[in-house]
Amino acid sequence: MNKMGFPTCDQNRKTADFQLPRTVSDHTGPLRMENLMAPLSNTDMRDIETLVHPYTNLATHRQSGPIVIERAKGIRVYDQHGKPYIEGMSGLWCASLGFGNDEIAETAREQIANLSYTHLFASRSHESAIELAEKIKEMSPAPASKVFFTSSGSEANDTQVKLLWYYNNARGKPEKKKIISRLKGYHGVTVASASLTGLPANHTDFDLPIAGILHTDCPHYYHFAEAGESEADFSRRMAQNLEALIQEQGPETIAGFIAEPIMGAGGVILPPENYFQEIKKVLDAHDILFIADEVICGFHRTGEAFGSLTFDMEPDSISIAKAITSAYAPLGALTVNEDMYQAMLNQSEKIGTLGHGFTYSGHPLATAIGLKTLEIYERENIPGHVRTVSAIFLERLNRLADHDLIGETRGIGLIGAAEIVSDKGRKQSFDPSHGVGAIAAEFCRDEGIILRPLGDSIGFCPPLIIQEDDIHELFDGVEKALDRTQAWIQESGIQN
């Protein structure tokens, strides 16, 4: 075993008679050692000597090298050897319209030719930012008075934190500043948004979370329900625990609560029955603003325009990014309700300029692409398509639960996960040091399917344009990969 507890390559060679594919990196931690047999190319070496890769085990990367993607079209990406893969994660949950869309390419060309850059500072503006903000206001499941643009989900959530602080100073409640998020929630990586994130890898040795950010329970019924507890009772208990945390801190100190409709990077965890209704009652009782982080769910992922609608969340504000441009350009945003806007307006009257904004807030290339993306969603009836193919997607996903390794499948629309366990009866997970989820994802990749290990869950989030045949191809590959994972487990003698 190497020092992370993963099998060394020599051990792999002894225990497995197939070649392990090269490593992909996950969101949650280090992956296993790589097949050192494959020689590193010149491109690999240049990569290793030049890049710090985000969310990558830097030590294993030096041995495994990168996976270089050369081109992409539709739902497929192609590596440097020309091997095609179904991009079962839409990149990072974002490329909803797939890759290489000619219409969006033309929009980008025209926008760059016409107005490659202007900004929104100091009252400067431009048409596509205004029009996209209008569209977001129209669509928003939260009461939206105004829209603030960023370039990423992290920046959107960071801005949420700052505006909550600003708002409560403006309305004379300077003690009301703490924000509650959830264990296993994911909200980004900037200092404040990483603090909201409830995953250890984002805190360890980064000296996070910052003060004033608190985490309440992860509402994963499969793992955390008590014996005999119904989903509705479980949700009530989650809300009671939130209430207890608020009481312990003092309700007058809590400004906001942030939650993803579906926890994405935490394992694609769907809310249990009545969860958000129970939570909302607690928030309303204490004048706590409810922010829905729609960065993954927003724009039809669940089969509805927003996860907030699917789960009847009734948030006060939303953060969005990713699918708003289908990842053709970096763009994020958040909505501001009228009450908060009025408080901010009063501040400007008192202290002047709102001292917040990014060089690329409302970048014209991003907003033009955002508008075109929303136009395509509507014109091509992407929501209708998602609802149609979702039935096949969920049927094939749920069928994975028949596999000996899969303890739970969960999904809605075109997002889902299959969780690998060592003992289905006891819902027992493998020791994380074995990296079984990562190994399964490697086998998937070898089968031509890119998916994401989220701990020992395998995440699915294919482009929304995926067709029925592609869904079957995707799950046929996953089934083979799970069989290979099971064989690998048996040959390696891993117990749990």
Q: Applying CB under 6 A, does 313 fall inside the site for ligand PLP? A: no
Question: What does the alpha-carbon distance between residue 373 and residue 294 come to, in Å, rounded to a whole number?
Answer: 17
Pairing of strands 146-150, 69-73: unpaired
Q: Which residues share a beta bridge with 257?
A: 180, 290
Distance between the two ends of the chain, CA-based, in angstroms?
16
Q: What is the DSSP letter of 39?
A: P
Sign of the Cα torsion 438, 444, 445, 446 reads positive
For the bound state, the minimum distance from the C-beta of residue 92 to ligand PLP, rounded and expressed in Å, comes to: 6
Nearer to ligand PLP, 36 or 92 (CB): 92
For the bound state, the minimum distance from the C-beta of residue 264 to ligand PLP, rounded and expressed in Å, comes to: 4
The 222-261 site mask, x for binding ligand PLP (CB under 6 A), equals --------------------------------------x-
CB 335 within 8 A of CB 146: yes
CB 337 within 8 A of CB 316: yes
Site size toward ligand PLP (CB under 6 A) is: 16
Question: What does the alpha-carbon distance between residue 142 and residue 240 come to, in Å, rounded to a whole number?
Answer: 25
For the bound state, the minimum distance from the C-beta of residue 307 to ligand PLP, rounded and expressed in Å, comes to: 10
For the bound state, the minimum distance from the C-beta of residue 1 to ligand PLP, rounded and expressed in Å, comes to: 31
Q: Applying CB under 6 A, does 296 fall inside the site for ligand PLP? A: yes
Residue 379 has a CB neighbour count (10 Å cut-off) of 9
Nearest alpha-carbon partner for 215 in 178, 161, 262, 173: 178
Nearer to ligand PLP, 153 or 271 (CB): 153
For the bound state, the minimum distance from the C-beta of residue 371 to ligand PLP, rounded and expressed in Å, comes to: 19
Question: What does the alpha-carbon distance between residue 119 and residue 121 come to, in Å, rounded to a whole number?
Answer: 6
Question: What does the alpha-carbon distance between residue 299 and residue 94 come to, in Å, rounded to a whole number?
Answer: 10
| Structure-block tokens of residue 273 | 């029955």
Q: How far is CA 203 from the centre of its chain?
A: 17
For the bound state, the minimum distance from the C-beta of residue 164 to ligand PLP, rounded and expressed in Å, comes to: 16
As a residue count, the chain comes to 496
Which secondary structure element, helix H or strand E, spans residue 76, and what is its range? strand 76-79
Q: Applying CB under 6 A, does 307 fall inside the site for ligand PLP? A: no
Sole window of 131-139, 292-300, 309-317, 467-475 interacting with ligand PLP (rule: CB under 6 A): 292-300
Sole window of 108-116, 243-251, 291-299, 350-358 interacting with ligand PLP (rule: CB under 6 A): 291-299
Nearer to ligand PLP, 320 or 482 (CB): 320
Q: Which of 64, 154, 168, 235 binds ligand PLP (CB under 6 A)?
A: 154
For the bound state, the minimum distance from the C-beta of residue 335 to ligand PLP, rounded and expressed in Å, comes to: 15
Nearer to ligand PLP, 97 or 482 (CB): 97
Kindly identify the residues of this chain, within the stretch 315-334, that bind ligand PLP according to CB under 6 A: 321
For the bound state, the minimum distance from the C-beta of residue 464 to ligand PLP, rounded and expressed in Å, comes to: 16
Nearer to ligand PLP, 157 or 308 (CB): 157
| Structure-block tokens of residue 451 | 């998916």
Q: Applying CB under 6 A, does 413 fall inside the site for ligand PLP? A: no
The residue number whose beta carbon is nearest to ligand PLP equals: 153
Question: What does the alpha-carbon distance between residue 258 and residue 283 come to, in Å, rounded to a whole number?
Answer: 11
Q: Which of 152, 160, 347, 409 binds ligand PLP (CB under 6 A)?
A: 152
DSSP 300-312: TTTSSS-HHHHTT
The 163-192 site mask, x for binding ligand PLP (CB under 6 A), equals -----------------------xxx----
Which secondary structure element, helix H or strand E, spans residue 411, and what is its range? strand 406-412
Q: Applying CB under 6 A, does 293 fall inside the site for ligand PLP? A: yes
Q: Which of 97, 170, 265, 305 binds ligand PLP (CB under 6 A)?
A: 265
Q: Which SS3 state, helix, strand or coil, does residue 414 take?
A: coil
For the bound state, the minimum distance from the C-beta of residue 402 to ligand PLP, rounded and expressed in Å, comes to: 29
Q: Which SS3 state, helix, strand or coil, does residue 454 take?
A: strand
Q: Which of 153, 267, 298, 370 binds ligand PLP (CB under 6 A)?
A: 153
Residue 70 has a CB neighbour count (10 Å cut-off) of 11
Nearer to ligand PLP, 264 or 407 (CB): 264
Interacting residue ranges for ligand PLP, rule: CB under 6 A: 92-93, 152-154, 157, 186-188, 260, 264-265, 293, 295-296, 321
